[in-house]
Amino acid sequence: MSDEEKSLMDLPSPILLQILSTLPPTTLLHVKTLSKTYLNLTLDSEFLKLSRSASPASIIINQFNSFWINSLKLLRFVVDNNLDHDPHVDLHLRLSFPLDPFFLVGSVHGFVCFNSFVGDADSIYILNPTTREYIILPKPQGVRNWPNLVAYGFGFDPVKLEYKVVRIYRQEIHDDFHNYKSEAQVYTIGKGYWRSIDHVMFHFRCSGYGVNLYGKLHWLASDANGKELICSFNLENELFESFPTAPGYNKENFPNLRSLGVFGRCLCVCDNNADTHFEVRVMKEYRVTDSWVKQIVITITPEYNDWLCDEMINVLKVFDDGEVLFLWSEDFLFLHHPVKKTLKRLHVCDGNFLASAHVSSSFSLKGFQGEVVKVF
């Protein structure tokens, strides 16, 4: 061990944790190989807390319109004198690439994944809005045209410190047992190629992207009998598992207006199938079926809030005071406080947008060897 390493090791653990929490993930990958002490520190719960709080959380909005103009907004919510969460635009970018609309897949550590498709072609981008850097991933295998469907997810493996894009390609087949077969394809940022890893025995929707939590990606899917379940993909060992979804699913509902999300540090299901109310159920203990609780119920009345009806609703963020930010379809954001029973529509975009929780960072994509990094 070098003298520099020895002197660092002499520092108190809280100071070392502060230093490590400011390092880019690609540097951390090297640091954790230097000693078991560094490795253990990067797995420490206090380190995870510090790394998440290094930059204030915000919301990233990916807007697309009929003129095929892509734009990004970063929203920061500030508590005003009335204790309301008011959105402020920290960054507004109009993108000259690609020429076609692209759609937000997910955001991890300041890196944002987008998917663009026109005709049969799929394109996937990784972008950092702060550094204005982006990379274009190689074209994956499998033609995306009806009735073949594609689902995506973007996540981070906290053990190997790797960022991965997962593509679920569902292809129509004709045999005596199945109508479709699904294949998982994985791209590790910095590796330069896609890998086909497994056939997936679940039916995925063409809408809805993987929810990143606990080193896994999660989707609402269904089995061969049409029963809804939660499908998870472990980003370390790259294995699929499934477990029961929230109560209340009815396969007669069409379209199925249920969405998967994160409520604090728990999985949740937003259900907007009923005409009389909208509800959010939260899985308090991960993978424990009996731990689902009804966290939010908003009664729908024609004279007050019938605009809630008939579309998919996604949870985006839970604030410290308990107020919750939602996305209604691709049209607008709204806030709801479960205790105060307040409901407020926000006017920050003119529709046609997707949104995700986002933490800005100055981590450079140039740290991923083998990727061609461009700047816009």
Helix H, strand E, coil C: the string for the chain is CCHHHHHHHCCCHHHHHHHHHCCCHHHHHHHCCCCHHHHHHHHCHHHHHHHHHCCCEEEEEEECCCCCCEEEEEEEEEECCCCCEEEEEEEEEEECCCCCCEEEEEEECCEEEEEEEECCEEEEEEEECCCCEEEECCCCCCCCCCCCEEEEEEEEECCCCEEEEEEEEEEECCCCCCCEEEEEEEEECCCCCEEEEEEECCEECCCCCCEEECCEEEEEEECCCCCEEEEEEECCCCCEEEEECCCCCCCCCCCCCEEEEEECCEEEEEECCCCCEEEEEEECCCCCHHHEEEEEEEECCCCCCHHHCCCCEEEEEECCCCCEEEEECCCEEEEEECCCCEEEEECCCCCCEEEEEEECCCCCHHHCCCCCCEEC
Dump pLDDT digits (tens) for 230-242. 999 999 999 999 9
Dump pLDDT digits (tens) for 113-154. 999 877 667 889 999 998 899 999 999 987 666 667 889 999
pLDDT in the model for residue 332: 94
In the structure, what pLDDT confidence band is assigned to residue 5 with cuts at 50, 70 and 90?
very low
pLDDT at 8 over 70: no
pLDDT at 9 over 80: no
- Comparison of pLDDT for 365 and 18, the residue scoring more: 365
pLDDT in the model for residue 147: 61
Q: What b/e sequence results for 56-66 when a residue is b if at least 16 CB atoms lie within 10 Å of its CB, and e otherwise?
A: eebbbbbbbee
pLDDT in the model for residue 217: 97
